[in-house]
Amino acid sequence: REEKAIDVLAKIQANGKVDDPLVIAEWEEITTVLAAERDALKGWRKFIKNGMWRRTFAGTSVQAWQQLSGANVMTYYIVYVFDMANLSGNTNLISSGVQYALFIIFTTVTFFFVDRTGRRPLLIYGAIGMGICMFVVGGVLGTYGTYIPGGVDGNLNVIRQVTGHPAHVVIAFSYLLVIVYALTLAPIAWVYAAECWSLETRATGMALASVANWLFNFAIGLFLPPGFHNISWKLFIIFGTLCFGASIQAYFTYPETARKSLEEIERLFSKGGPKPWKTRPGDSLLDQKVAEVQEAQIKGESTTGRMGSLGHKELAA
């Protein structure tokens, strides 16, 4: 069914022109990826052997960092934070609702620049931005906060409170953290986790990534209330430090996957692949192959025959 596959590809990409450079280049890429996936090991070993551990580590760790960034402090427990900022009653509830509106708005905004900007900058600078916000909130609470022995309004999980301008700073940077999170780690962690897998491992790989996300979500949810009670403002310092840890790991271990072909992503995570910090959006191998095919056609070489023989060879493997 090779000829039918090529015909369908040509209709999708080039109005039925089988000898179009894009069709030929993409067919070569498809057959190369299929051949590599046929050689993959079976069972759980395919997530570890032959360099696949790099993809597994990237897909699961980016989801873990989404939770370890401390974003849930400003989503699940934003009411506690605003209690510390001297808000109460309906004012606290309305102010808490605002951050959910910000979340929706700025996550939607990401759609318009995510492919142009790339994944690495958003993961790296997003984590740094969140870390700065965490340090500011924790620093203000630690420096200007007043210890409340019985807890604010009897809530023993909220034992520190600020008023006046320091309270305004806490509120402002809480909102800013949510905005940064919505623009970066919140959506990009899911995008990156999906892109780092091969076609064969993507479904199970995303399941592993989701497990990592929800395991850390569950752990953080259990940790936060006693954390507020026992270490109070220091909780924000811990999450700020973790955010900077996330940015460091993203810089050194996450190659750029934006606008990359499947074949190139395979190479990015291979042992001899480029260093993650030297990768950038685009520069797809598919574009290079199209240029090579166009050059061959200018020289009068038979690219159609070459495509057919390549397909037969790969499919017979």
pLDDT tops 80 at residue 185: yes
Mean predicted confidence (pLDDT) in 167-193: 95
* Of the candidates 65, 57, 3, 37, the residue with the CA atom closest to the CA atom of residue 216: 65
Model confidence pLDDT, tens digit, residues 217-252? 999 988 998 999 999 999 999 999 999 999 999 999
In angstroms, the CA 228 to CA 77 distance is: 10
pLDDT tops 50 at residue 33: yes
Tell me what percent of the residues of the chain surpass a pLDDT of 70: 90
Q: What is the mean pLDDT of the chain?
A: 86
pLDDT number for residue 315: 35
pLDDT tops 80 at residue 181: yes
pLDDT number for residue 36: 64
Could you tell me the pTM of the whole model?
0.82
Instruction: Assign residue 151 a region (left: φ > 0; alpha: ψ between -120 and 50; beta: otherwise).
Output: left
pLDDT tops 60 at residue 308: no
pLDDT number for residue 147: 92
Structure tokens at 307: 């495509």
Count of alpha carbons within 13 angstroms of residue 67, beta-carbon side: 20
Mean predicted confidence (pLDDT) in 102-120: 93
pLDDT tops 60 at residue 44: yes
Instruction: Name which of 2-16, 104-118, 163-177 the model is least confident about.
Output: 2-16
The confidence band for 189, taking pLDDT boundaries of 50, 70 and 90, is: very high
In angstroms, the CA 119 to CA 276 distance is: 11
- More confident site: 208 or 154: 208
pLDDT tops 50 at residue 215: yes
In angstroms, the CA 300 to CA 87 distance is: 75
- Distance (Å) of CA 268 to CA 51, 65, 165, 192: 11, 21, 48, 13
- The partner residues of 147 in beta bridges, in order of sequence, read 160
In angstroms, the CA 197 to CA 205 distance is: 7
Asked if residues 111 and 191 have their Cβ atoms less than 8 Å apart, the reply is no
